[in-house]
A = this chain, B = another copy of it.
Amino acid sequence: MVSIIDVARAAGVSNKTVSRVVNGEPYVTPEMRERVERAIRDLGYVPNMAARMVRSSRSRTFGIITDYVSTTPYSGDIVRGIQDWATANGKIILLANTGGDPERELSIWNTFRSHQIEGVLYVTMYHRVVDPEAGDVDLPTVLINCHPGSRVDLPSIEPDDTQGSLDLTRYLLARGHRRIGYIRLNPILLGGEQRYEAFRHATTEAGIPENDIIVRLGMEGPVGKETNYVYSAARDILSDENRPTAIMCGNDEMAIQVYLAALHLGLRIPEDVSIAGFDDFQTLSLALKPELTTAALPYYDLGFKGTERLNQLIEIPADRPSRVVVPCELIERGSVSSK
């Protein structure tokens, strides 16, 4: 471990002068600066963050706490967004995941305090309501991809499932679809409900009669262990001779099964039936042929902007908790045709 003192010795100056050079402080002659910089290069000196933290009691570290449900792998993009903001702004990220265990969650909060964390990003892998076990601790916290429950009042940043679904539905309606099937996501998912409500809202608004909306529940049960009816629901809907001209799916994953069901019945996509997804999970949406028209969950942005927001919260602690919503962009590809 080469310290500031080693550098000072090598450059023949005091440790404080080295400190000044390292931190870009004024009042150092160019000549001194030069000498110190060479010593730093020669010795391969890197400042010791731990010592800095002890000295300044500022860690420049944010903690991520996730529930890490591995069934939704795409939400890893949230972490990428967080990382990118952090790196660009000289912050360090400490990652921890609860595995859903509240006891673990408490111990994580302690770990965070131990590391002098300045703020916490509470990230869920699907859009839902949460009650962080923060308890006594009151670190600045931003909820990402989730919504505060009754016990807490925290700022959050969430995808606008409602707007996304509204846009998607209107897109379908604008293309002349008047009889539409809808396969619902698990009702315990916040996003699922918002998407469905928005769909209903848009169709009602367009004057589509109740009878022309065919709704099926695609899955239910606890997250990660749900039973899945999508394939049979899709077959069911599409077997009817008065079948809808389009099917909207709770998410892209469901869309696969609808594709398969449709093809199995000899229907062409999108000529015989149009299909729309949700999420824009590209491993799926681009693998499907024709590629899937869908609404993109802004995961990367959620992470990036959420972190930016946390930083604000830390610098200006006055600002009030609030909810920020990020739009879901409509991604037009080949699975929806005009009627």
Contact = CB atoms under 8 A, between A and B. Distances in A.
Nearest to A261: B289
A330 B59 CA distance: 46
A74 B73 contact: yes
Contact of A80 (B49, B97, B289): B97
A338 interface: no
Interface string A76-114: 110110011001000011111101000010000011011
A231 B259 CA distance: 14
Interface string A157-182: 00000000000000000000000000
Nearest to A108: B87
Nearest to A264: B263
Contacts of A266: 266
Q: How large, as a class, is the contact surface on chain A?
A: 35 or more
Contacts of A79: 95
- This chain: copies in complex: 2
A51 interface: yes
A77 B87 contact: no
Given A49-B116, A263-B264, A95 B83 contact: yes
A181 to B, nearest CB: 17
Interface stretch (A25-33, A144-152, A277-285): A277-285
Interface stretch (A9-17, A40-48, A190-198, A204-212): A40-48
Interface string A282-315: 1110011100000000000000000000000000
Given A93-B95, A257-B289, A289-B260, A48 B44 contact: no
Interface of A: 1, 44, 46-51, 53-54, 57, 59, 68, 70-74, 76-77, 79-80, 83-84, 87, 92-97, 99, 104, 110-111, 113-116, 136, 231, 253-254, 256-257, 259-261, 263-264, 266, 281-284, 287-289
5 contacts: A46-B114, A50-B54, A50-B115, A72-B283, A260-B263
Given A71-B283, A261-B289, 6 more contacts: A1-B116, A73-B77, A80-B97, A84-B99, A93-B95, A253-B283
